[in-house]
Amino acid sequence: MRHALNYTPEIDTTAEQDAGSGFFIAFEGGDGSGKTTQIKLLAQALTDRGFDVLVTREPGGTDIGEKLRTLVLEHGQGEVDPHTEALIFAASRAAHAHQKIRPALAEGKVVLCDRYIDSSAAYQGAGRGLGVENIVNLSLWATSNLLPHTTVLLDVPLVEGRERAGARGQTDRMESADDSFYAALHDAFRAQAAATPYRYTVIDGDRSIQEVHQDVLSAVLKVLS
Ligand code: ADP
Ligand code: TYD
């Protein structure tokens, strides 16, 4: 498979070193895999249990990041070639890691982030064909090596995710890509989790919202304890 995501950076999860008592959880998966839905339910469940939770997202999460989100996702911003696209996602991530995630972790928060480095690896590295290793290294540099303590991958069949995302109605610039792009990134998410299983919590997302939530919650409570 040309775009296999088999690159494992040889670094420690520096989130652990810098986090204070905080905990960093990224949510990954294709469009429509249920990330936003599950983050909302998990945030409430953790808050009810007394955790101090920060919900955030990429691209975005900071003032500059939300501006970069508009530039990279909205139609009509001019041509965005793949290298420019990769750098915009990385710039948003740099601001996010330095201005928002690290300070929140230092305050002891549980940070729930809708997409992070794996999205760049899958969409830009595999989908756009820029190379997973280049893209992961770019993000590691941008964030000064901030990796999540765990990444929850919502595994949903490609067709199901596309249908769910399609039912939302609007299509952003990324969602206008062709079927082979989606197939490449779908494989890439799975390959990354398979290559470094200790960094992932893989959940079968092809069930009811409540069933998925129960699994996400119990897995996250386990890693938090
Ligand atoms: P993502 O953030 O991964 O793109 P969303 O959470 O926005 O996904 O979900 C996309 C759509 O699919 C929403 O309309 C949501 O209500 C619906 N959805 C989410 N999870 C499920 C599920 N387990 N079963 C059926 N529909 C779902
Ligand atoms: P968003 O609406 O947040 O995601 P979803 O459709 O899953 O709810 O859209 C973000 C889009 O940007 C999505 O198509 C994935 C893409 N993306 C990248 O291509 N690279 C990245 O590094 C990130 C964070 C997102």
DSSP string of 28-70, one letter each residue: E-STTSSHHHHHHHHHHHHHHTT--EEEEESS-SSHHHHHHHH
Going by pLDDT thresholds of 50, 70 and 90, the confidence category of residue 7 is: low
* C-alpha of residue 36 to centroid of ligand 1, in Å: 7
Ligand with an atom nearest the CA of residue 139: 2
Q: Residue 202: in which H helix or E strand, if any?
A: strand 200-204
* Pocket lined around ligand 2, Cβ cut-off 6 Å: 31, 35-36, 57-59, 73, 89, 115, 119-120, 123-124, 165, 174-175
The pLDDT value given to residue 175: 82
Distance 31 CA to ligand 1 centre (A): 9
User: Which residue has the CA at smallest separation from atom 5 of ligand 2?
Assistant: 31
Q: Provide the β-strand partners of residue 28.
A: 153
Of residues 61, 53, 33, 31, the one with CA closest to residue 176 = 31
Q: Name 119's bridge partners.
A: none
Nearest CA, atom 20, ligand 2: 120
Q: Tell me: cis bond preceding 59? Omega within 30 of 0 counts.
A: yes
Q: How far is the CA of 116 from the centre of ligand 2 (A)?
A: 9
Q: Which ligand is nearest to the CA of 173?
A: 2
pLDDT digits 0-9 by tens, 161-172: 989 988 887 788
**Domain extents in the chain:** 21-224
The DSSP annotation for 99-135 comes to IIIHHHHHTT-EEEEES-HHHHIIIIIIIS-S-HHHH
Position 4 pLDDT exceeds 90: no
Give the mean pLDDT of 116-137: 97
Q: Whose CA is nearest to atom 16 of ligand 1?
A: 37
pLDDT in tens, 47-86: 999 999 999 999 999 999 999 999 999 999 999 999 999 9
pLDDT top residue among 1 and 135? 135
Nearest partner of 131 among 145, 121, 117, 143, judged by Cα: 121
- Write the DSSP symbol of residue 3: T
- Determine the residue of 5, 72, 115, 163 to mutate for testing ligand 2's pocket, defined as the one with the most ligand atoms within 8 A of the Cβ atom: 115
Which ligand has the shortest distance to the CA of 72? 2
Helices 35-48 and 209-224: crossing angle in degrees, nearest 10, is 50
State the pLDDT confidence band at 15, using cuts at 50, 70 and 90.
low
Q: Tell me the per-residue pLDDT of 182-214, one tens digit each, with 9 for 90 and over.
A: 999 999 999 999 999 999 999 999 999 999 999
Q: In this predicted model, which residue has the larger pLDDT, 8 or 32?
A: 32
CA dihedral for 56, 165, 131, 193, sign (positive or negative): positive
223/136 Cα distance (integer angstroms): 24
In sequence order, the 6+-apart residues with CB closer than 8 A to the CB of 44 are: none
In the predicted model, what is the mean pLDDT of the chain? 91
Cβ neighbours, 10 Å, residue 178:
8
Q: Homologous superfamily of 21-224 in CATH?
A: P-loop containing nucleotide triphosphate hydrolases (3.40.50.300)
Q: Is the pLDDT of residue 10 over 70?
A: no
